[in-house]
Amino acid sequence: MSSQRTLWRDRIQTAHAERVATARTRTHRAVSHRDGARCEVDGRSLVNFCGNDYLGLSQHFAVINAFQDAAAREGTGGLASHLVCGHHAQHEALERELADWLGSPRALLFGSGFLANIAAVQGLLGEDDVCVQDRLNHASLIDAARLAGCRLRRYPHADPEGAIRQLRNVPDGLAMLATDGVFSMDGDLAPLRDLALVARAQKAVLYVDDAHGVGVLGPDGRGTVAAARLSVQEVPLQLATFGKALGSYGAALHGDADLIGHLAETARSHLYTTALPPAQAAATRAAIKLARNDHWRREKLAELTAHFRERAGKLGLELLASGTPIQPVMCGDDRRALAMAQALEQQGYWVAAIRPPTVPEGRARLRVTFSALHTREQVDGLIEALARAAERVAIEGSDGARAAPATVAR
């Protein structure tokens, strides 16, 4: 019987051949230096329009100084898990300051948003329960439900009626309604007020992954839940990540004090992993102060986004209905997206081509993202480069993407 078993080398070679045939190979690219909105890649200086450093805080002197000062005093490592000896005063202060900013009773730190999503779902749901999710939710939410062993039901994107149908068609047990606040590939917002009504009617826990909303949207940058004027009673659990608008690393769950307390004692991805380095927590604390008070950063993002949409629309580029710094330029065909990304890079602009399975089939795109570090002149240059790239690809055809470096894409 074992002679019929699949060999691992055969499996990965077959999978690689399929990716090559469908223009879906992926390779890391090494950034050798960053300076503001520019990155040095393969010896070339490119204006970066594919990162998530929305507020431009990752290189801010106050954030860097906080990291360096804490590292000099406390070292570079996290030492152990939080419940052993890894929970530092910097972690305690970060949890307290984050909860105060976001208007929650309590917060709990994690090494990444992926780990936090696993904790939120796995820490609450089991095989007798159900997790109902938007079809375009981040992959970590999908994986979290699978790891929890609960029933996973998905509803059409941003469709509250679809969510209520899924919740009605499940037996008794704990129910969670989980959604991104800002959808990372489309840039649009979840209909949170309607989803809150659905969750209340169906006695479900509403969980919002606000990775791309915190720092960018809402009063004082408190995110999509605050922008929707919803309270902890209506949304008892949220995710905030530090590696996007805050320019740091890590994540936190925040919300109802009893719920966060439960996860602090039971969430496997919190209990069984090393705590963030105290220096990283110190850097995030400095970033929170800036994000909370520097309203001009959000105002500049909104201005750049509106300017891009107006000019790109006049040029006939196909955009999605997004008012956030995530601005997808639709290409449809995978090879066309790759060819467009390569043409942009040749003009000095780094924009990622996003292809399935990250997005649905036939929905490949360029994911343009803005930062407070960008200038209007750089945005104008990108728009002109997009127009030239679209014209070039239309003339040459997307077959030119066969020679494009797959490293520009996801």
Evaluated on CA atoms 119, 361, 306, 54, the torsion sign reads positive
Residue 212, annotated as binding a ligand: yes
First to last CA, the chain: 39
Q: How far apart are CA 328 and CA 369, in angstroms?
A: 8
Q: Which residue has the tokens 């499940």?
A: 170
Q: Minimal CA–CA distance to 182: which of 142, 155, 209, 159?
A: 209
DSSP conformation letters of 75-95? -SS--S-IIIII--HHHHHHH
Establish whether 184 is an annotated binding residue. yes
Q: Is residue 242 marked as binding?
A: no
87 is known to lie in a ligand binding site: no
Q: Is 33 helix (H, G, I), strand (E, B) or coil?
A: strand
Q: Is the dihedral of CA 189, 37, 25, 251 positive or negative?
A: negative
d(CA 367, CA 348): 16
CB 251 within 8 A of CB 240: yes
- CB contact set of 333 (below 8 Å; sequence gap of 6+): 362, 364, 398
Distances (CA, A) of 260 to 39, 152, 234, 288: 39, 23, 15, 21
Whose tokens are 């996973």? That residue is: 152
List CB contacts of 341: < 8 A, sequence separation 6 or more. Answer: 351, 352, 353, 366, 404, 408, 409
- Written as one letter, the residue type at 167 is L
Structure tokens at 390: 């679209």
CA distances from 354 to 110, 209, 279, 337 (A): 27, 21, 33, 7
* Pairing mode, strands 205-209 and 175-180: parallel
Token representation of residue 119:
């904790």
d(CA 36, CA 372): 10
Residue 114 assigned to a binding site: yes
Q: How far apart are CA 140 and CA 88, in angstroms?
A: 27
Annotated binding site for pyridoxal 5'-phosphate: 113-114, 184, 212, 241
Annotated binding site for substrate: 26, 138, 358
